[in-house]
Structure 1
Amino acid sequence: MKNNMKEIEFSQANYDQWQESAVKALKGKPFESLITKTIEGISFEPIYTQDQLVEKLDGKLAEQVSTIRSLKTGEECLAAQQTFADSPEALLQGVKESLAKGNDIINIDSRVNFAWDEQTLKELSTLFTENSFKLNIQNNQDALLQVFNYIKEDQKDAVKGYISSADKLNLKGFHNVRTRNANVLEAHYEGAHAVQELAIALLQAAHYMETEEDIESFAKKFFVTFAVDTQFFVEIAKLRAFRVLWKAFTSAYGTDKDLPVAIVTETSLRSFSKLDVYVNLLRAGNEAFSAILGGADVCTVHPHDVLSFPDDKSIRIARNVQLVVKEETHVEHIIDPSGGSYFIETLTADLVKDAWALFNELQEAGGYNAVKTNGQLDALLKETMDQRMKEVETRKKSLIGTNIYANPADEIDERNNPLFADYNRLAKPFEELCLNYAKNQPKVALLTIGQLKQFKPRADFVSGFFATAGIVPEKSPEILSVDEAKDWLTATDAKFVVVCGQDDAMYEYIPALLEVKPAHISLDVAGKFKEEQDEWIEAGLNGFIFAGQNIIEKLTSLTADVKEVQR
């Protein structure tokens, strides 16, 4: 029996029809509740369509896509795993082993706790003529720079690499070594979001151009370094956006040529934590994948325990994260794999627009040196970092294993890797809180009112709240009467008690408990009770624990309260 299935066409719903259906599904909630705003101030729509994208880019979609694809310096993202070592011998061995096991680029930070001797530098010079490299040095007097003295004149053109330094470097004869670095790492760890990072990268490039002869020769020496954070789609779009911005930047200096720009990346430590460190492995994997999808030329994946000190196992895992991503997804066989996505292309265009506007604003304010010197840039970044910290401390942003789903049995490795000890990280306040509570060890208990189903939601919430400080509260048995609650409270040896139960019960229990509360006990209640709070606090209640509260402020104050009542 024949059928006409191949001839059937399905009607395509337009945006208005979809929105109408979405509003019905929301059952009274406003449609705007589906729209979320990023820290950059960009709105994430619940759905993206081709019509929206075409309208936003106003006929320039093809130009945006072709620019991104034509300004990449290579066809793949090269692995540049950092070598950590305590001696020259260990460093050389680590470099050679990493190259043999899949590393593409030698990655060395000159801040080592040993002296660079002649033999080590000679061996490194040989490796530099055979492999690309990425060096992080302190200034133009750095001892590691002596390695280039051992490279023969006829080998200099074969040497390819990237050098990041606070000083301007001039390596004579090394035409394939990029030494003009717009290094955005400092701004990143001061809190910068994607728009600010992009603008700062352009500011630094413009600062370099003040002493360069022409844009084409400068482009051959230039590269940008970004840290890639956990905001997956934003980070993809950030790297893509920089190439569009770079095209506009070079055009402003009088060239219509496509001048490829090298984008060097590393996984961000801003969201890394010493609590539940294996979650850092997931963070790093997410960040590496977005770097590769975004078109990075070089990527460094930090080991999950890099904040303390990585061992051979964690270094191998970090290296393999990138290798697995590239090999298993086949992403390197695709030019601009995220290109064409309505969402990514729209987000890229938004970042380009906002970053170019901020760049011009800061340029008009005097340029990179001026806004750094007068504090304008620091103030801008501090505001962003304060917002980030507030979001983490109130759980608006999740740090799995740190501010939510924390394991109170975790022990913090108090060793600090000196290379990263000064980085601002979102988890630092929680780590300090855990160390503080571990030293003081206040005994915390939950006074649970009613049957299990009545107090469990709040008891679980409070337990999770204290878990972020490494504390496991004790729980009372089911308390079914006010007299039982009074007896338990006067008998407990806990220094801090939180009452958990349903609202109706609290109106009866809290006033009665405050009448008999021993002076050495600090008493809180789970939940918000705005109408009763002043009366209860005046009667001796310490405070409240509730969702959306600043965890750091609350638990820090509790430490002080417990110390006070213990005196």
Structure 2
Amino acid sequence: MANTNREKLFTEFPPVPTEKWEEVITADLKGADYERKLVWRTGEGFNVRPYYRAENLEGIQFLGSQAGEFPYVRGTRANNHWRVHQTVTVACPKEANAEALKLLNSGVDSLGFSIASENFTAEELDQLLDGISIPAIDIVFCGAKPGHLADLFLAKVEKEGIAKEEVHAAFSIDPLVRNLSSKGDFCSPNGEKCFARIAELIRRTAEYKHVRIVTVNAQIFGNSGSTIVEELAFALSAGHDYLVRLMDEGLTIDQAARKLRFSFSVSSNYFMEIAKLRAARMLWANIVKGYNPEKNCAGKMMIHAETSRWNQTVYDPYVNMLRGTTEAMSAAIGGVYSLEVTPFDRAFEAPTEFAKRIARNVELLLKHESHFDQVVDPAGGSYYIENLTQSIAAEAWKLFIEIEEKGGYTEAYKSGMIVERVKASAAAKDKNIATRRQALLGANQYPNFTEVAPKEVTAEAVTRPTAEGNVLVPYRGAMAFEEMRLHVDRSGKSPKAFMLTCGNLAMARARAQFSCNFFACAGIRVIDNTFFKSVEEGVEAALASKAEIVVVCSSDDDYAEVAPKVKELLAGRAILVVAGAPACTPELEAQGITNFINVKSNVLETLKFYLKEMGI
């Protein structure tokens, strides 16, 4: 018989109060500002402390519930077996069918079909699903006329006599987000026909417990540059708008809520994304409960997730594999129903077979080798993530209420509020990327020095799209740097920056590394050097290299003497740049030395300036 006595471990170590931790931290800071050095000021509207303790869980009301229990913060099911999803673009039904069958034999158990034709027929649907066992998988239809696709699919299911409880399907019908946010209008005036049509499909599928008619495509917010809080609040608001409109069409709250599906993007903000998904379930459950459903389970949020497209890069694209992996981990730990990992090359080409295989293998590895599907909500009880969940929920709810006070999602969107908020958040991210406060590896930080864009990378792939009117336009955060670098790659020139390292060896090397990284972001070829014993030797080597830019790398104490000497010896034959922000800057500027780069520089604008100076 098992011993029921539970011996407490480490009782010889007395508990350390928070005050003692704070005393040690304050001493270690040696007078530095605690708030500035250790508190993370997020773009989400709240601050994150450097550590959390059990006392920080006090007052969090959702603690104590288990997976499958209201408010579902720990998950809507008692397991974590998410579906591995991959989307097939359907131009030719037979070719798409062949690809789909291959995916099903490669570990995929949730198929997405993006239909290109607006005149898709029943015969083409039969071709598309030939040899595919509908009860064995999840099927999601998106693309042109998803309502028409729903009619065709349901007719096929009924014709084949498939049991209704065995059909797992979803449709990307989304006039509020997909149509209104990306096109600026509904499918009909004020959407009356749209919502009547949706209500009709919901009634038709009333006995299909696993069929979802509406998909709230919230990933458009994240991929347009919104914050995590904004993506969540806007998704909740759009979902609530659907509930209200569908109940106006005569549906009950239970009927409407059970037919909604949410699709979120997942960025590389690892812990924040885990918390977002947990907060999403909790808030949605409370929204639905406010309408007194017959059963609380009507408020279970079905979440599909896609790894972010916003932070993918064209240069050094294999880094996108790493991004997709950490993002997939966030989604799996956060407890999604299904997940699609974006192929690493999607930003610049139609994904190759290799890219698609790696994308799905990320999920298969997390399942079969890392066993992420064997643990339900491993984040539960974490002081840090529980606090993040609470903070994200609080800020998202605040924004949700603000939208409701404007009349709901539709009215708030028409007023311009949604687009204005997303554009402001995107602009803040753009600034952080330009100044490297936010890193996108391979683009604005640690670029591959020798990389030249392959022919597959077109100007269109790196040019930020624009649109007139009150619409959201997805883009990638790296585009401004990539457009600049591609321009250099296609210019037919090979500009060079020479590192003139002298003076203090340690500072010279550190600044040379910083400067190499800085100039390589524009595709400028860097010529690094270990050390020059004299300024004369360094200038001679710089001129011999025929570099258009010479970066003097030394210590602040050396610059007052070294920089003017370099300027004199160069005699205008190259652009002189000083690496750092020395105290003698005013004196150097008085001598005509005006180019400086340092950690506070706007890297993007500075590089554009030097390219212009070189005639590129």
- Output the TM-score relative to the length of structure 1: 0.89
CA contact (8 A) 2:75 2:377 kept: no
Q: 1:46 to 1:6 in 2, by over 3 A?
A: closer
**Partner of 1:507 in structure 2?**
560
Aligned match for 2:126, one of 122, 134, 141: 122
Q: 1: CA distance between counterparts of 2:507 and 2:26?
A: 34
Q: 1:91 to 1:451 in 2, by over 3 A?
A: same
**Partner of 1:160 in structure 2?**
168
CA contact (8 A) 1:490 1:516 kept: no
Structure 2 SS opposite 1:94: helix
Deviations 1:291-324 (A, max 9, x none): 0111100100112122222222221111111111
Q: 2: CA distance between counterparts of 1:448 and 1:467?
A: 17
Q: 1: CA distance between counterparts of 2:150 and 2:290?
A: 36
CA deviation after TM superposition for structure 1 residue 183, in Å? 1.4
- RMSD (Å), alpha carbons: 3.1
CA deviation after TM superposition for structure 1 residue 521, in Å? 2.9
**Partner of 1:200 in structure 2?**
234
Equivalent position amino acid for 1:555 in 2 = L
Q: 2: CA distance between counterparts of 1:12 and 1:429?
A: 51
Q: 1:161 to 1:451 in 2, by over 3 A?
A: same
**Partner of 2:404 in structure 1?**
363
1:16 aligns with 2:19: yes
Q: 1:159 to 1:456 in 2, by over 3 A?
A: same
Structure 1 SS opposite 2:421: helix
1:188 aligns with 2:222: yes
Q: 1:451 to 1:38 in 2, by over 3 A?
A: closer
Q: 1:119 to 1:156 in 2, by over 3 A?
A: same
Aligned match for 2:482, one of 427, 431, 435: 431
Moved more, 500-509 or 442-451: 442-451
Equivalent position amino acid for 2:102 in 1 = E
Q: 1: CA distance between counterparts of 2:615 and 2:329?
A: 47
Q: 1:84 to 1:46 in 2, by over 3 A?
A: same
1:52 aligns with 2:62: no
Equivalent position amino acid for 1:80 in 2 = H
CA contact (8 A) 1:179 1:222 kept: yes
Equivalent position amino acid for 1:93 in 2 = A
CA contact (8 A) 1:161 1:177 kept: yes
Q: 1:426 to 1:326 in 2, by over 3 A?
A: same
Q: 2: CA distance between counterparts of 1:542 and 1:115?
A: 63
**Partner of 1:40 in structure 2?**
44
Within 5 Å, give how 1:232-247 maps onto structure 2: 232-247=270-285
**Partner of 1:291 in structure 2?**
331
Moved more, 369-378 or 446-455: 446-455
Deviations 1:214-250 (A, max 9, x none): 2111111101110011111111110010111012201
CA deviation after TM superposition for structure 1 residue 457, in Å? 1.4
**Partner of 1:29 in structure 2?**
32
Among the aligned pairs, what percent are the same residue?
A: 29
1:400 aligns with 2:441: yes
**Partner of 2:470 in structure 1?**
none
CA contact (8 A) 1:402 1:427 kept: yes
CA contact (8 A) 2:502 2:554 kept: yes
Equivalent position amino acid for 1:278 in 2 = Y
Q: 1:340 to 1:72 in 2, by over 3 A?
A: same
Within 5 Å, give how 1:343-382 maps onto structure 2: 343-382=384-423
1:442 aligns with 2:495: yes
Deviations 1:72-112 (A, max 9, x none): 26842111122357643331111111112211111122248
CA deviation after TM superposition for structure 1 residue 264, in Å? 0.8
**Partner of 1:331 in structure 2?**
372
CA deviation after TM superposition for structure 1 residue 397, in Å? 2.1
Aligned match for 2:609, one of 549, 557, 561: 557
Equivalent position amino acid for 2:350 in 1 = F
**Partner of 2:63 in structure 1?**
61
Q: 2: CA distance between counterparts of 1:101 and 1:483?
A: 63
CA contact (8 A) 1:64 1:244 kept: no
Q: 1: CA distance between counterparts of 2:9 and 2:569?
A: 80
Structure 1 SS opposite 2:313: coil
1:133 aligns with 2:139: yes
**Partner of 1:105 in structure 2?**
110
CA contact (8 A) 1:199 1:356 kept: yes
CA deviation after TM superposition for structure 1 residue 474, in Å? 2.5
Moved more, 23-32 or 499-508: 23-32
Aligned match for 1:82, one of 79, 83, 87: 87
**Partner of 2:183 in structure 1?**
none
CA deviation after TM superposition for structure 1 residue 271, in Å? 1.3
**Partner of 1:495 in structure 2?**
548
Gaps spanning 5+ residues in structure 1: where? none
CA contact (8 A) 1:70 1:258 kept: no
Equivalent position amino acid for 1:107 in 2 = G
CA contact (8 A) 1:407 1:470 kept: no
1:543 aligns with 2:595: yes
Q: 2: CA distance between counterparts of 1:492 and 1:100?
A: 56
CA deviation after TM superposition for structure 1 residue 481, in Å? 4.5
CA contact (8 A) 1:494 1:521 kept: yes
Moved more, 249-258 or 70-79: 70-79
Q: 1:123 to 1:152 in 2, by over 3 A?
A: farther
Equivalent position amino acid for 2:290 in 1 = A
Q: 1: CA distance between counterparts of 2:452 and 2:296?
A: 55
CA deviation after TM superposition for structure 1 residue 51, in Å? 1.7
Equivalent position amino acid for 1:237 in 2 = A
Moved more, 388-397 or 136-145: 136-145
Moved more, 297-306 or 488-497: 488-497
CA contact (8 A) 2:139 2:170 kept: yes
Q: 1: CA distance between counterparts of 2:564 and 2:85?
A: 63
CA deviation after TM superposition for structure 1 residue 40, in Å? 0.7
CA deviation after TM superposition for structure 1 residue 421, in Å? 8.5
Structure 1 SS opposite 2:310: coil
**Partner of 2:181 in structure 1?**
none
What number of residue pairs does the alignment pair up? 556
Moved more, 386-395 or 275-284: 386-395
